[in-house]
Structure 1
Amino acid sequence: MPLTDIAIRNAKPREKAYKLGDALGLFLLVKPTGGKLWRVKYRIHGKEKALAVGTYPTVGLAEARRRRDNARQLVSDGRDPSIEKRREKMRAELATATTFTAIAEEYCAKRKRDGVKAWAPATANRSEYLLSLLRGSIGTMPIGDIEPIDVLTAVRRIEKKGQLESARRTLQLAGAVFRYAVATARISSDPTRDLRGALTTPTVTHYGAIIEPERVGELLRAINGYEGQPLTKLAMLLAPHVFVRPGELRHADWSEFDFDSALWRIPAAKTKMRKDHMVPLSRQSLAILKDANALTGPTGFVFPSIRSRRRPMSDNTINAGLRRLGYASDEMTAHGFRAMASTLLNESGKWHPDAIERALAHGDSDRIRAAYHRGAHWKERVEMAQWWSDYLDEMRGEGAPKSAFKRQ
């Protein structure tokens, strides 16, 4: 006799599990714990088997019968419902493992350990953040199901917020993830390849930088009078002397400094070009570092966060210090100390352009040439580092010395 909803609801647990039969192999297994499980009995290839098709009341009687009928159809087609169920589970797990977000995380993990091409920590953090903006749109979709319109709609949400550069960069990163998926045989083509030109091109803005000697002197005097956090002041004092990238300064560790040799060795993992960068230290730089060492040495970050010495100074700390001194973002930034040094060192006419480029840690695509210049210009770089610090001291006085620009 077929089951009814009333009979199922009234079925009480017993000391041992028992069955309530319906029809065509469907039955309800009532467990001693009170659980009620749907099963379908079937025979295939001469063997009798039972297929789990759900739990009551999540799966009601009508739905259990529909699943039973599907299982019977599979048997009629010569397929084992239990095997098909396992395959469906594996397909679902594979689909989850091949969502855009899953592939993006795999791609980012690869890029962070990609040898000499590995992302710097700051690049990795920025890239992971931008890709996370796609989680609410295409993130949960199987990567093979994503079409160009899906990606375009997702990045235009970012664009509509006025974040034009973020939208552009997110589209680029999404394309890199899709190309990685192509390379690893998850999809056959990159759906972003035809989206070039679809987004509004952001206006290129350069880092604010002061490059006029008189104004450089004003800035240096302002930094000298800074009354905020001592470490922030020390970081701002050191930045113009060493003119490294802001992230390299923030992540500087005491283990990288050799005071006896007046040398700062920035390991490849922290540099944009993924190569070790040697920074000769002037007497002024060493004096500032020794003041910092009294506060944060002898181990760990030179400029740690005020909240935890296990983390570096925030990437906005120096910029915030400059704002406190009255300099707007289009006037001066932490990155602007590099433009300042590059401009004034080149204008001085005293130093070989390659020595300046090497000091700025700009890349050289020719490895042989790069190796030659690293050695050939080291002595000049040491001399240039001291000259530059001396010149900063002069500019900090009551006006820029014109003799500094006398060409040799």
Structure 2
Amino acid sequence: MMLGKVEDISLYEVKYKAETILNTVANGSDPKAIQQKEQVNKYAHLKNATFADIAQAWRDHKTSSRQQSKSKKPAFSESTLKFWDLCLGYMCRDIGDLRMNDITSEMILSVCEAIQHNDNQATFVGASTRLYTEKVFSFAVARGLCDKNVAIDTRGELAPANSGNHLPAITKPDQFATLLHDMSNFKGANKLTLEAMNLLPYVFVRSIDLRSMRWQDIDWDNDTWAFSPTKGEGRDDMVSHLVVPLATQVIARLRNIQSITGHKEYVFASMRGSSNAYISKATMVQIFHRLGYKDVQCAHGFRASAKTLLMEQPELRYSDIVTELQLGHRIKDTHGGAYNRLDEIDTRVQMMQDWADYIDKLRDYAKT
């Protein structure tokens, strides 16, 4: 009798099924008749499997069902798959060897709480680990592989994925390197949108300010971009005018874009609709979602990413004052007065070039 197609069955399944057949024959039963019954549920061999085995089955099911979809949607990105593996890897490390019915909600909660006390992105990772664990249990219950989805009982017991008022931002060098690499290799949008997305990390302004960037605001002689931040008007904590020193990499990118929209008002002019429009926020948001970074990194989050890395990394180590000035925040000097917008400009010019060189190095590192 057939155990399955070679390309569709793992060595683990072959061994399990062979042992089952031998035991069935030894007990005087017809293995073929039993197989016909089991075909109703192709996951019957996982009836008493461990969490790790069923988590892998869930992952395989998700990827294969997407690939076979008639909608022709792209398969899950490499980043999404890596994130699944990261989250479920935490769970498998602690309870992966346990059978599904032996796992309790207390065990799941304990693993996720430990994650959330770990590092900068741990709140999101811990909440996501809980969510994916619930999905694995749901997958198992629906196929008769366990009795109850105990992960449901952990809902609302953790800090939410995006707790507080902070927008999601990656601040770890290795994770940021992967993000930059994923962004540079993404091809699922038009050229201008891709250019805007990949320019954003270099200048770390708000998304709206980059998207509405005007050619007339660029000083090619001094390699600077001066503009009025959209959210700065009428706010005591924001400057009304900001100068952004442009690194050599940024100038080169802008020169390339100039051949496309140099005759228009906006650098990132919309290719459809009004001639006075620029690309929309939605186009940027969708890219991060499609890359698998939803609730992990957003366009605005590059401001927090840049500030944290600029202040913490040994090869950078720029001060809080200089980074705050570059973000367009109003800060007080030692006498209680406000810093002038051009204060520390020489340092900021060097900082922006150092930052551009640093993220280029990170991107190259991720390629290897």
With the length of structure 2 as denominator, give the TM-score of the two structures: 0.50
**Greater relative contact order: 1 or 2 (C-alpha under 8 angstroms, separation 6 or more)?**
2
Q: Select the structure that is richer in strand.
A: 1
Query: Computing the radius of gyration over CA atoms, which structure comes out larger, 1 or 2?
Result: 1
With the length of structure 1 as denominator, give the TM-score of the two structures: 0.45
